[in-house]
Amino acid sequence: MYYPYLRGKQFELLALREFVEKYSDNCKVFPIIEPVKNSFNSMKIALKKLQEKNVPYALILNPQNGELIGKVETILEELVELLLDTDKWIPAYIVNTNAKGISNHIQTKGYQQVMLICQNSVDSNNLEFLELINLPGITKALISNDNRSLKRKLDRLGKDVIRLDDNFKPQKRNSDYVDIPEEIFTEEHRYYDIEDKYQGLGDYTVLTSDFLEGGRLPYAVAIHLTYEKNSDEIWVRHFVSDTNDDSTNIQGKFGEAAEKAVHFFEQIPFSNDSIAELTGYYRNEQYPGLGVLKKISIKNHLELMNSILSH
Amino acid sequence: MKKQMAHGQKEKMRSYASIFSSTSFARLLKNEDFDFINKKIERYDSNKIGKNFTTYSEYIRYAYNSLKKEYRCEYVYKNELINELLLKKYGTENTVVINEFKVGNSVADMVLFNGTSKAFEIKTELDSEKRLSGQLNDYTKIFKECYIVTHESLIEKYLETDEKIGVIAIIKHNNSFKMREVRKATVSEDIDASVLIRSLRTQEYKNVVMAYFGQLPCVSNFQMFDECAFLMKQIPNSELHRLFITELKKRASNTQLLQSFYKELRQLCLSLKINQKDYQELSLKLSQPIKL
């Protein structure tokens, strides 16, 4: 199973919705969503779609970023109708030094199936943390690959252990990708299960694990698309515009970047829904907006991981 | 500043200046987060509560007036520019004021559109004049009138810049401060279409081309910018100025509302593009008594 970690923002959620719309019948994707926005509209539409299509997901109840930090009751109230059916979703918690509070919350709520996302500040010998992972309700735990002793402990307790990798290497500016046409993204999909004995693998898709808000109009347009290279490795290719000296003419810049992407995938040749959508905008000479480009990048990665884990 | 300010006093003034931050006020508006003000009160002024001020708005006035006397940072200049020149002299009817407007490789501190177009570059006593000639060179490419806004002690220095550039100064007058136009800017009819198009939004440059030629070029979206840039160069200067001003005056603006905002916070309200409803909320929050 593949566990993409997504922040509950408009275009991340849109990517998810469009993905499950098409792939719910053969879905190897178990999304983890961190709510970060006060306005719950996009979130409600997306969760509704996931439930309708019977795709289970994890919802983080103690977000560490954005507008909902410490607002667990707000989250539960806003989404109350969607969360009634506990077969459709599982609660998730980000664990750092807050194990005690999480244990209390799980017990108060009586949750039976819980996911933990362990940050690197977790001390696997800490008593409160040990009490937390010993709760029978804890079924899944995401950890970084660096924490071997934690993995062993969780394994012994019979939990599903999932590795969470921070695969995307962000550059300061989009124009910095000009010198990095592509780079290896991951090959863990080959090793995570049989060799490394994880029950799943996760990443932050083609976004950085850092939480970033807004941003200004960039000087360069960059489209990040993952694809399978050398038959068994996943690479990310950065398609960047050429005229990058100021923030004007974003349409023209999109045209430049999209042209490179479209030609590249024609030559492999490879396509999926996301590549087809991008090709469509390029052929119709239509600029879809930066949000849609982000959606395409994320959706493409979901499609890719789903197809790799399916065969 | 005449006397060298004592170190502690300077720190305090810097602290006061940091109160007038748009990120902090945006957060205050969203949540009830008075932390950024409370910290300053705790550090410097907790003994004055109930004497010099009781509510948050009174404290803001207190801090602002201290800045005006002792530490005229950019915020004070921008705010006084709004209070003294925009509201008292130019009037807000039919005027649009914009904060931080991108021109060429520079960003003008404040620009104004009514029948004409004006750009203002603020040079406080705390600023260096580095980059000034580059900035003015950029602004004069699309604005009819360009001004340096400075302190009275620096008038002589800035009068030495290009004669076409106007000079406005903050001047001490019977214990209060006034903004005075020391030298009027020369109105320029030159305009550089290739700089202008880069300061406009997509819909705006399309509107300019549409208004003059009656139609848009028959090219794809990807080539629209280049084609419009080419066409805009053929529009006569006076006409291009007029179309530029017409388009910018269409931008959503709260200039008309500025008069109704707290005198000390007008610049913040402008940069946050605060509307009537948000203002009422902000004003309600600030009218509360200080609670540490």
pLDDT one-digit tens code per residue, A126-183: 999 999 999 999 999 999 877 889 999 999 999 999 999 999 999 999 999 999 999 9
CB–CB of B202 and A252 under 8 A? no
For the purposes of burial, counting CB atoms within 10 Å of the CB of B68, is it exposed (0-12), middle (13-18) or buried (19 or more)? middle
Give the ipTM.
Answer: 0.72
B232, two tokens:
């805009």
Contact A248 B226 (CB under 8 A): no
Closest-CA distance of chain A to residue B147, Å? 25
User: Using one digit for the tens of pLDDT, what is the confidence trace for B75-117?
Assistant: 999 999 999 888 888 877 889 999 999 999 999 999 999 989 9
**Angle at Cα A231 formed by Cα A226 and Cα A235, nearest 5°?**
25
Instruction: Express each pLDDT in B24-58 by its tens digit.
Output: 999 898 888 899 999 999 999 999 999 999 999 99
Residues in chain B within 8 Å Cβ distance of A252: 222-226
Look at B91 and A110; give whichever has higher pLDDT: A110
Q: Is A94 helix (H, G, I), strand (E, B) or coil?
A: strand
Residue to substitute from A251, A253, A254, A282, interface B, most B β-carbons within 10 A: A251
- For residue B224, which residues of chain A lie inside 8 Å, CB to CB? 251-252
Q: To the nearest whole angstrom, how far is the Cα of B184 from the nearest Cα of chain A?
A: 32
Whether A285 sits inside 8 A of B198 (CB atoms) is no
Min Cα distance B202 → chain A (Å) is: 8
Q: Could you give the residue ranges of the DSSP H alpha helices within chain A?
A: 10-23, 41-52, 72-78, 80-83, 99-109, 127-134, 148-156, 188-191, 250-267, 273-283, 290-310
- Substitution target in B225, B227, B228 with the highest count of A β-carbons within 10 Å is B225
Nearest CA in chain A to B196: A248
Average pLDDT over residues B137-149: 97
What chain A residue is nearest to B199 in terms of C-alpha separation?
Answer: A248
Check pLDDT > 90 for residue B193.
yes
Give the pLDDT band (50/70/90) at residue A213.
confident
- B102, B198, B222 member nearest A255 (Cβ): B222
A284 to chain B, closest Cα gap in Å:
8
Q: Report the percent of chain A where pLDDT is more than 90.
A: 91
Q: In the predicted model, is pLDDT for residue B1 greater than 80?
A: no
Tell me, what's the pLDDT at A145? 79
Instruction: Give the residue-averaged pLDDT of B258-280.
Output: 92
Say if the Cβ atoms of B222 and A246 lie within 8 Å.
no
Which candidate in A69, A246, A249, A284 is best for mutational testing of the B interface (most B CBs within 10 A)?
Answer: A249
Find out whether the peptide bond into A63 is cis, omega within 30 degrees of 0: no
Residue B3's pLDDT is 55
Burial of A284 from C-beta contacts in 10 A (0-12 / 13-18 / 19+): exposed
Alpha-carbon torsion angle A140, A141, A144, A145, nearest 10: -60
Of B30, B198, B225, the CB nearest to A252: B225
Q: Which of A82-86, B90-94, B234-238 has the lowest mean pLDDT?
A: B90-94
Chain A residues with CB-CB distance to B216 below 8 A:
none
Contact A221, A256 (CB under 8 A): yes
Instruction: Compare CB distances from B198 to A248, A252, A255 and report the shortest one's residue.
Output: A248
> In this predicted model, what pLDDT tens digit does every residue of A278-293 receive, in sequence order?
999 999 999 999 999 9
Using the predicted structure, report yes or no on whether residue B4 has a pLDDT greater than 70.
no
Q: Percent of chain A having pLDDT more than 70?
A: 100
Q: What is the pTM of this model?
A: 0.84
- Yes or no, beta carbons of B225 and A255 under 8 Å apart: no
B2: confidence class by pLDDT, cuts 50, 70, 90? very low
